[in-house]
Amino acid sequence: MSKIEDMITASKISDILRKKEDEKASKTVLWVLAIVGAVAAVAAIAYAVYCFFTPDYLEDFEDDFEDDFDDEFFSEEDEV
C-alpha cells in the first residue's frame, strides 16, 4: 500500500508544480499585454495632443480664396 500512496502523493506534487508553472506563464502574458496596452495608450494621448496643438493651415488657405471671388468680378453688362 505504501507504494500506491507514494505514487498518489508524487502525482499530487507534480500537479501542484504544473499549476504553478501555468500561473507563471499566464502572469507573464498578462504583464506583456499590460505593457503593450500602456504604450498604446501613451501613444494615443501623444497623438491627440499633437493634433490639438498643430495649427490647421487648410483653414488659412481656404480663407485666402474666398476674398478673390467677389460678386463684383462679374458686372451686369457682361451677362447675356
Residue range 34-61, pLDDT digits in tens: 999 999 999 999 999 999 998 777 766 6
Instruction: Record the cell numbers describing residue 53, joined without a space.
Output: 496643438
Banded pLDDT at 19 (limits 50, 70, 90): confident
Question: Torsion-angle region of residue 75: left (phi > 0), alpha (psi -120 to 50) or beta?
Answer: beta
- How many H-runs (helices) and E-runs (strands) does the chain carry? 2, 0
Distance CA 25, CA 31 (A): 10
Q: What is the pTM of this model?
A: 0.49
Which pLDDT band, with edges at 50, 70 and 90, does 65 fall under? low
DSSP 71: G
Query: CA angle 30-34-37, nearest 5°?
Result: 140
